[in-house]
């Protein structure tokens, strides 16, 4: 296939680069954060307030859920939160109260078994879901009032152990890492129709015992980073003009030269500034710090930071000041301050929230307060 430069290609690259640069430049002002955590063992979402000045965490409220909540995501305007119910095969939407951050259940729909991950399409009009047990992906429209729309929803079968689903910055391509078959599936997305279609080739095959699991995009260039569940590593991929992922480099998420317990990666995220990656190790029970070169192509392991047992999920606040790591086995959330110059972490507190702490996400209080909730 000819991938040489052309006017159309250069134009599309400029659009993609501009989108990533714009996304990175949004992270500027430090602010207090609303924090939401899935407590699977108690079928609830806990709502907390994180103080940006000192990293203190205050538990505000607890909202019951129709099943064991897993993945959480907040709409770009901070008005709505979406959650997957892994035990009951459901998706839910909640309204976020403007002034308090409290949750109100808006809609619940039945979907496939074990929805492991959800994400919102660029533009905010559709919710993507990946299904670990059912082996597939779905697309649901999001109404103006935050409700999930069942009518016209799309289901596409893939393989079991679909673990995440993410669109690129343009929203044209959607990628779905699968840990079991060691594949990253790829789709084209038509936002007007709300439909996925299989790309050609349909998936990127990875080596045995790699286990591509989650994905995060560089905020400045079209490069994706995928953590490998069985491989205890992170791989950098460049997205070509045809929307294909080409592997660039790999890096371990574990220190060398010591006896390590069995380990598996869970989550990978990039700092808003694009200079550091963080990956969670389950077994070693740590967060790995990985440096990213100026072009986003080369990765270097820096060190690991011990955290709560079985860090299934973690999040970075939008200003890049705080990292919040959820310990599934301990039920405790650990708050780390992120050094602005080096990306290093310093623990400032550990908070008991509940049994089987599966997911954590956050949103700036100031942004939520200025949004206008629908009636």
Instruction: Report the length, in residues, of the chain.
Output: 375
What's the rounded Cα separation, in Å, for the pair 163 and 266?
10
State residue 67's pLDDT score: 97
Nearest to 348 by CA among 143, 69, 50: 50
Beta bridge partners of 235: 226, 250
By the 8 A CB rule, do 328 and 357 touch?
yes
What are the backbone dihedrals phi and psi of residue 170, each rounded to the nearest 5 degrees, phi first?
Answer: -80, -20
DSSP 162: B
By the 8 A CB rule, do 140 and 108 touch?
no
State residue 27's pLDDT score: 40
What's the rounded Cα separation, in Å, for the pair 117 and 138?
11
DSSP 301: E
What tokens appear for 86 in the block?
Answer: 């892994």
Nearest to 67 by CA among 101, 25, 110: 110
Beta bridge partners of 166: 175
What's the rounded Cα separation, in Å, for the pair 34 and 60?
10
What's the rounded Cα separation, in Å, for the pair 23 and 295?
17
Measure the N-to-C terminal CA separation of the chain; round to a whole number of Å: 52
DSSP, residue by residue, 121-132: -TTSSEEEEEET
By the 8 A CB rule, do 141 and 172 touch?
no
State residue 366's pLDDT score: 85
What tokens appear for 257 in the block?
Answer: 């030269």
State residue 367's pLDDT score: 78
CB-based contacts of 309, cutoff 8 Å, min separation 6 = 285, 327, 328, 329, 330
The ranges of the chain with pLDDT < 50 are 1-28, 374-375
Nearest to 228 by CA among 178, 292, 277: 178
State residue 133's pLDDT score: 96
CB-based contacts of 253, cutoff 8 Å, min separation 6 = 227, 232, 233, 234, 265, 279, 281, 288, 290, 301, 304
Using CA of residue 125, residue 131, residue 134, residue 135, what is the dihedral sign?
A: positive
State residue 368's pLDDT score: 72
What tokens appear for 15 in the block?
Answer: 């659009």
Q: Any idea which fold 28-370 has?
A: Methylamine Dehydrogenase; Chain H (2.130.10)
Burial class from Cβ neighbours inside 10 Å (0-12, 13-18, 19+) for residue 28 reads: exposed
What tokens appear for 177 in the block?
Answer: 């890492």
Query: How much is the pTM?
Result: 0.91
DSSP 169: T
* Interval 250-281: pLDDT, tens: 999 999 877 777 999 999 999 999 999 999 99
CB-based contacts of 5, cutoff 8 Å, min separation 6 = none
Nearest to 177 by CA among 219, 126, 230: 230
């Amino acid at each position: 296939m000819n991938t040489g430069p052309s006017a159309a290609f250069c134009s599309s690259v400029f659009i993609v680069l501009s989108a990533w640069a714009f996304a990175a430049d949004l992270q500027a002002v430090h602010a207090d954060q609303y924090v939401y955590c899935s407590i699977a063992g108690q079928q609830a979402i806990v709502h907390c307030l994180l103080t940006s000045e000192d990293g203190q965490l205050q538990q505000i409220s607890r909202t019951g859920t129709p099943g064991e909540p897993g993945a959480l995501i907040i709409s770009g305007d901070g008005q709505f939160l979406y959650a997957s119910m892994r035990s009951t095969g459901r998706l839910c939407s909640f309204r976020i109260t403007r002034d308090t951050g409290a949750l109100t259940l808006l809609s619940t729909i039945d979907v496939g078994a074990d929805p492991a991950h959800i994400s919102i399409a660029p533009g905010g009009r559709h919710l993507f879901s990946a299904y670990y047990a059912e082996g597939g992906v779905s697309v649901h429209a999001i109404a103006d009032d935050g409700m999930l729309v069942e009518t016209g929803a799309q289901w596409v079968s893939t393989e079991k152990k679909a673990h995440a689903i993410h669109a690129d910055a343009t929203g044209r391509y959607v990628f779905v890492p699968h840990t079991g078959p060691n594949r990253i599936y790829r789709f084209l997305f038509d936002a007007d129709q709300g439909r996925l279609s299989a790309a050609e080739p349909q998936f990127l095959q990875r080596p045995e015992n790699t286990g591509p699991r989650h994905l995060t995009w560089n905020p400045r260039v079209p490069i994706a980073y995928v953590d490998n569940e069985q491989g205890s590593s992170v791989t950098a991929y460049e997205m070509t003009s045809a929307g294909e992922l080409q592997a660039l480099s790999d890096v371990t998420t574990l220190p060398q030269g010591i006896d390590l317990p069995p380990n598996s990666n869970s989550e990978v995220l990039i700092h808003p500034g694009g200079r550091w990656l963080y990956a969670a190790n389950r077994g070693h029970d740590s967060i790995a710090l990985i440096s990213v070169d100026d072009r986003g192509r080369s990765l270097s392991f820096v060190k690991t930071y011990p955290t709560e047992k079985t860090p299934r999920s973690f999040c970075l606040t939008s200003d890049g000041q705080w990292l919040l790591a959820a310990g599934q086995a301990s039920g405790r959330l650990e708050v780390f301050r992120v050094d602005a110059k080096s990306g290093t972490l310093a623990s400032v507190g550990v908070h008991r929230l509940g049994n089987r702490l599966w997911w954590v996400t956050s949103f700036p209080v100031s942004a939520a307060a200025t949004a206008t909730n629908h009636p």
